[in-house]
């Protein structure tokens, strides 16, 4: 499995320092992070005794924490199905992980114009058991219709990539349309993006089919990306870790998700630094969507005859801005992207123009900064 190897290689860059764990943490947190260390050791060191130690430590923490598993009936899907990347401790702990609640209990308001809305007072539905997991990264297997399930992981500097993302053009998540759906009024023209449930910029998981759904441009860039950016910025600032769960909701037999519930909570400071629970709508303004299949159609207000063309009111003109091109990988970036910093100077080229022009020149948008 390529993605397993990928995340293992990211873990090989682990830079955990014991002193980080001792900054006034409670006994609970200290024990939990010890478990994380043990699981890392188990991952690279392949010592079965340290795996056992991690399991034991994690189990006792869950008990000490009350193991308040309120969703006992709901974690079966994750437990039964979850594929764990990484280490033995995670596999054993999978039984203690829960799933997000069903759509009916989320009370998602009807879409109006905000790409994402607060759910449950912005409090994730994590249990003490979820929060005491240590390192794990888990992607539910595809269901009978080929649809993704929950993606759940503890993310930190160790799991974040510094390289540009490779090509994911071969992945066709459920609801994907061929030929590809294009609208002049959609940012970048393409209605659908291959949308990572857990962002590439946080996990390094790229072409993992269990981490990619068909998502509208608006959900990907305006709904999920600002939240993912918040998590990345928090991690870069503090070096702390964040528990993240990304759950796509498919109603009935629909092949296109209605939306994604994105939950996150920082670990070392108990959520004080970062905590949210948001619903990201899988919608695109002025596009009608059949969620059963992903089929779609133009619903923009009728354009007066005099105003034909894609620039009917001037506001739809694409912004001209400066991008950084990688002439080797043929990706383009925002100038402040982490991928630019790791780029060789000889491959770096500045470009000022529109996004469409960059694409027309044969460049693909970077997967970290999503220009």
Using the rule CB under 5 A, is 355 a contact of Zn ion? Answer: no
Using the rule CB under 5 A, is 115 a contact of Zn ion? Answer: no
Report the nearest approach of Zn ion to the CB of residue 163 (Å): 11
| Phi, psi of 345, rounded to the nearest 5 degrees | -55, -35
Task: Provide the 8-state DSSP code for 354.
Answer: -
Q: Which is nearer to Zn ion, 147 or 165 (CB)?
A: 165
Q: Which of 333, 343, 363, 364 binds Zn ion (CB under 5 A)?
A: 333
Using the rule CB under 5 A, is 31 a contact of Zn ion? Answer: no
Q: Which is nearer to Zn ion, 128 or 364 (CB)?
A: 364
Q: Which is nearer to Zn ion, 197 or 368 (CB)?
A: 368
Q: Which is nearer to Zn ion, 153 or 337 (CB)?
A: 337
* Interacting span for Zn ion (CB under 5 A) from 178-186, 232-240, 281-289, 330-338: 330-338
Using the rule CB under 5 A, is 196 a contact of Zn ion? Answer: no
Using the rule CB under 5 A, is 366 a contact of Zn ion? Answer: yes
Report the nearest approach of Zn ion to the CB of residue 93 (Å): 34
Using the rule CB under 5 A, is 29 a contact of Zn ion? Answer: no
Using the rule CB under 5 A, is 160 a contact of Zn ion? Answer: no
**Tokens 């294009």 sit at which residue?**
182
Using the rule CB under 5 A, is 365 a contact of Zn ion? Answer: no
Contacts of Zn ion in 257-316 (CB under 5 A) = none
CA 273 from centre of chain: 19
* Interacting span for Zn ion (CB under 5 A) from 48-56, 215-223, 305-313, 335-343: 335-343
* Interacting span for Zn ion (CB under 5 A) from 80-88, 208-216, 263-271, 325-333: 325-333
Q: Strands (DSSP E) along the chain, which ranges?
A: 83-85, 116-118, 137-139, 151-155, 192-196, 212-216, 242-249, 259-266, 275-281, 287-289, 296-298, 321-326, 331-333, 348-353, 364-365
Using the rule CB under 5 A, is 124 a contact of Zn ion? Answer: no
The residue among 153, 134, 154, 137 whose CA lies nearest residue 36 is 134
Using the rule CB under 5 A, is 343 a contact of Zn ion? Answer: no
* Interacting span for Zn ion (CB under 5 A) from 52-60, 150-158, 277-285, 358-366: 358-366
Q: Which of 260, 339, 355, 363 binds Zn ion (CB under 5 A)?
A: 339
Task: Provide the 8-state DSSP code for 114.
Answer: -
Using the rule CB under 5 A, is 168 a contact of Zn ion? Answer: no
Tokens of 259: 């939306």
Helix (H) or strand (E) holding 176: none
- Round to whole Å and give the CA distance between 270 and 81: 29
Q: Which of 337, 343, 358, 363 binds Zn ion (CB under 5 A)?
A: 337
CA atoms within 13 Å, Cβ hemisphere of 83: 15
* Interacting span for Zn ion (CB under 5 A) from 135-143, 261-269, 300-308, 331-339: 331-339
- Round to whole Å and give the CA distance between 102 and 73: 11
Task: Give how far Cα 146 sits from Cα of 170, 271, 291, Å.
Answer: 15, 34, 15
For residue 57, give every residue at least 6 positions away whose Cβ sits within 8 Å of its Cβ, in sequence order, or none: 31, 34, 35, 38
Cα dihedral angle (348, 342, 152, 21), rounded to 10 degrees?
A: -160
Q: Which is nearer to Zn ion, 52 or 229 (CB)?
A: 229
**Tokens 């005794």 sit at which residue?**
49
Site of interaction with Zn ion (CB under 5 A) = 333, 337, 339, 366, 368-369
């Amino acid at each position: 499995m390529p993605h397993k190897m990928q995340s293992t290689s990211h873990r090989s860059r682990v830079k955990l320092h014991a002193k980080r764990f001792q900054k006034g943490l409670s006994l609970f947190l200290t024990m939990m992070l010890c478990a994380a260390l043990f699981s890392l050791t188990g991952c690279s060191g392949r010592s079965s005794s340290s795996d056992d130690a991690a399991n034991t430590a994690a189990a006792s923490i869950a008990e000490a924490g009350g193991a308040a598993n309120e969703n006992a009936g709901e974690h079966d899907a994750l437990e039964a199905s979850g594929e764990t990347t990484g280490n033995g401790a995670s596999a054993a702990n999978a039984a203690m992980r829960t799933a997000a609640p069903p759509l009916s209990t989320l009370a998602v308001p009807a879409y109006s114009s905000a790409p994402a809305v607060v759910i449950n007072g912005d409090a994730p539905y994590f249990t003490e058991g979820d929060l005491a997991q240590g390192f794990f990264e888990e992607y539910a297997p595809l269901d009978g219709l080929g649809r993704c399930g929950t993606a759940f992981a503890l993310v930190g500097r160790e799991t974040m990539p510094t390289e540009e993302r490779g090509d994911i053009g071969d992945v066709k998540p459920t609801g994907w349309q061929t030929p590809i759906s294009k609208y002049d009024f959609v940012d970048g023209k393409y209605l659908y993006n291959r949308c990572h449930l857990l962002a590439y910029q946080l996990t390094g998981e790229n072409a993992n089919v269990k981490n990619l759904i068909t998502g509208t441009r608006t959900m990907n860039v305006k709904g999920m990306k600002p939240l993912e950016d918040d998590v990345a910025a928090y991690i870069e600032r503090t070096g702390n870790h964040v528990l993240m769960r990304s759950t796509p909701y498919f109603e009935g037999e629909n092949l296109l998700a209605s939306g994604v519930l994105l939950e996150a909570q920082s670990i070392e400071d108990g959520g004080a630094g970062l905590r949210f629970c948001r619903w990201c709508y899988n919608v695109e303004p002025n596009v009608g969507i059949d969620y059963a299949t992903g089929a779609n159609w133009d619903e923009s207000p009728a354009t007066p005859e005099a105003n034909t063309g894609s620039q009917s009111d001037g506001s739809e003109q694409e912004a001209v801005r400066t991008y950084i091109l990688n002439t080797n990988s043929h990706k383009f970036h925002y100038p402040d992207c982490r991928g630019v910093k790791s780029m060789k100077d000889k491959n770096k080229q500045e470009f000022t123009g529109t996004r469409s022009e960059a694409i027309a020149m044969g460049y693909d948008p970077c997967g970290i900064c999503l220009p």
